[in-house]
Amino acid sequence: MPEPINKAVVFATTHWSVVLMAGDSDSPQAAAALEELCRGYWYPLYAYARRAGQEVEAAEDLTQEFFARLLQKDYLRVADRRRGRFRWFLLTAFKCFLANEWDRQTRIKRGGTEPPILLDSLDAEQRFKLEPADRLSADLIFERRWAMTLLETARERLRSEYIAAGKGDRYELLEGNMPGERTEKTYAQLGADLGMSEGAVKTEVHRMKRRYAELMREEVARTVADEAEVDLELRHLIDVLGRQ
């Protein structure tokens, strides 16, 4: 498994750094940085737009247009590490953008001269239909999806590490013991499937959970301005996920 977290490295490549780089129009890396932002955070904003009353195509187009304008209009230049967490900046900017676009109904023209920023391959509306009932506000939907995006990214990184180590099959069998999952198999049964002792399975599951927690901290660290905020943000996201 990977070496312990190098905190200096984590905070040297935070998402805040990517935001600031994307806001620098002179940076040759700006376009790549913007695409990274879109991949990581487009769906929470799409879900917000849908819950706020936008139709499917409008929500898709507005979300794409918003990310494009972050770069084109230098919106990211106002991002300040000292003024809160990135998710707050992003949602505030998106709300302002929606207010400006609401009446104008400006939409990206598919197939135009400027290619749209490619979003997730999974249809956004399919994901939105799995969201909780309408009793949840648009703001809470955004925060819940933000938290889930961080969890999913950490889980995928863990899976990739096992695959890279040639242990993909082991991960698939033990994944049911991860937080939020359920499995009917006992450690003894899993050990029989894997050719491991029951004690070895317990140790492996403990190692998986510990590494998952480390990866989750890394993902959260990329969205805050200072390492001291990581624990506060983790507690907030856990609270958000627990709300009904």
**Concatenated DSSP letters of 118-158:** P--SS-HHHHHTTSPPTTS-HHHHHHHHHHHHHHHHHHHHH
Quickly state the pLDDT bin for 13 (edges 50, 70, 90): very low
Q: How many residues does the chain have?
A: 244
CA angle 94, 38, 134 (to 5 degrees): 55
Per the domain annotation, does 80 fall within a domain?
yes
Helix boundaries (H) for the chain: 7-12, 15-22, 30-51, 56-72, 86-101, 124-128, 138-164, 168-174, 187-194, 198-221, 230-242
Mean pLDDT of 93-120: 62
Eight-state DSSP code of residue 116: P
Q: Which residues contact 160 (CB under 8 A, 6 or more apart)?
A: none
Task: Provide the pLDDT for residue 161.
Answer: 97
Is 18 inside any structural domain?
A: yes
Q: How far apart are CA 45 and CA 64, in angstroms?
A: 10
- In a domain? residue 17: yes
Q: 3-state DSSP call for residue 200?
A: helix
Measure the CA–CA gap between 12 and 92, rounded to whole angstroms: 25
Asked whether residue 196 carries a pLDDT value surpassing 60, the answer given is: yes
pLDDT at 129: 59
pLDDT tier at 29, thresholds 50, 70, 90: low
Whether 12 and 30 have beta carbons less than 8 Å apart is answered as no
2 within some domain: no
Q: Does any domain span residue 69?
A: yes
Number of domains in the chain: 1
d(CA 36, CA 21): 11
In a domain, 93, yes or no: yes
Stretch among 10-19, 127-136, 233-242 having the lowest mean pLDDT: 10-19
1 inside domain: no
**For 117-173, how does the pLDDT look when each residue is reduced to its tens digit (9 = 90+)?**
555 545 666 666 556 555 678 998 899 999 999 999 999 999 999 999 999 999 999
* Domain residue limits at 89: 7-242
Question: Is residue 82 a part of any domain in this protein?
Answer: yes
